[in-house]
Amino acid sequence: MSLIHALVAQGATVLAEHQAGERDFSQATQTILSKIPPNNRHVTTHWRTTILFLIPNSYLFHYISEGGFTYLVMADDSAGRRMPFAFLNDLQHRFLEAPSSSSAQDAPAHGLQGTFGPVIASLMNTYNTSPPQDELTRAQNELDQVKNIMVQNVEQILSRGERIELLVDKTDVMAGQATAFRRGARSVRRQMWWKNRKIVALAVLVSLLLLWLFVAQFCGAGLNQCGAQHSD
């Protein structure tokens, strides 16, 4: 619980307040109110108290004093400054828009407790459980989102680059295989050419042999009989 006690006051007169804890800090807030000058300004006042087992805890009193009204919240120092002042700005905005603010000038102490006290309680509960983001936090979140998108884009580019490199490697392998295939094809073509030549030579030789056998039947093995018959 970051916000502990909040109030709206006119001067030193508390018009409405709400405390989230069990301890009553009304006397402390009254002391702070009595020390706030009438000038319009945003100030953080330090307040140190002692709670259970004499363990010292440090609290901060943040307030806005403007237009005769003071908007004050007591917060744990871990809350920092941005969140409490965002709460006070929201509290001031809601108070000025509330119908009861028109009669606040003449209201007695705690005169707006019944009408505006629940508003303070609801607003404190909102900021203590899920405080809305201020502009700086929102800008930081948007910057983080942009950074995450850029990181994803870079990762996609790197991944695409790796795939391109893999494709290039595969292309190189395929080019090497194609070169080896062409060399193999030329070697096979040469082998087939010589084989065809051998078959042709063998066919010519067989044809000549068959022709010689055919002629030898009539002219003898030396082909001399055909010559002798022709001379007779």
Enter the pTM of the model: 0.55
Do 76 and 145 have their domain in common?
A: yes
Nearest to 57 by CA among 115, 137, 2: 2
Q: Are 139 and 147 in contact (CB under 8 A)?
A: no
Do 131 and 180 have their domain in common?
A: no
Domain-ending residue, one of 148, 167, 186: 167
Do 129 and 208 have their domain in common?
A: no
Residue 57 has pLDDT above 50, yes or no: yes
Do the domain assignments include residue 85? yes
- For residue 197, the enclosing domain spans 169-221
Residue 199 has pLDDT above 60, yes or no: yes
The rounded distance, in Å, linking the Cα atoms of 181 and 173 is: 12
What's the pLDDT at 123? 93
Domain-ending residue, one of 143, 167, 191: 167
Do 114 and 209 have their domain in common?
A: no
Do 75 and 161 have their domain in common?
A: yes
pLDDT, one tens digit per residue, over 145-172 is: 666 777 666 666 666 665 666 676 777 7
What's the pLDDT at 53? 35
Domain-ending residue, one of 167, 195, 212: 167
Q: 39-48, 104-113, 213-222: lowest mean pLDDT where?
A: 39-48
Do 35 and 109 have their domain in common?
A: yes
Residue 95 has pLDDT above 80, yes or no: yes
Q: HSE (CB half, 13 Å, CA atoms) of 156?
A: 6
What's the pLDDT at 72? 92
The enclosing domain of 105 has a CATH number of 3.30.450.50
Do 148 and 183 have their domain in common?
A: no
Q: Total domain count for the chain?
A: 2
Cα dihedral sign, 166-169-175-177? negative
Choose the most confident range, by mean pLDDT, from 47-56, 58-67, 111-120, 193-202: 111-120
54 or 87, which is more confident: 87
Do 199 and 133 have their domain in common?
A: no
Do 179 and 147 have their domain in common?
A: no
Residue 7 has pLDDT above 70, yes or no: yes
Do 71 and 150 have their domain in common?
A: yes
- With bands split at pLDDT 50, 70 and 90, how would you rate the model's confidence at 34? confident
Do the domain assignments include residue 229? no
Taking residues 125-139, what's their average pLDDT? 71
Residue 124 has pLDDT above 60, yes or no: yes
Nearest to 120 by CA among 36, 14, 208: 14
151 or 123, which is more confident: 123
Do 159 and 93 have their domain in common?
A: yes
Do the domain assignments include residue 217? yes
Do 70 and 84 have their domain in common?
A: yes
- With bands split at pLDDT 50, 70 and 90, how would you rate the model's confidence at 24? confident
Do the domain assignments include residue 105? yes
Any idea what DSSP says for residue 133?
P
The rounded distance, in Å, linking the Cα atoms of 125 and 221 is: 130
Q: For the chain, what is the mean pLDDT?
A: 77
Taking residues 182-190, what's their average pLDDT? 79
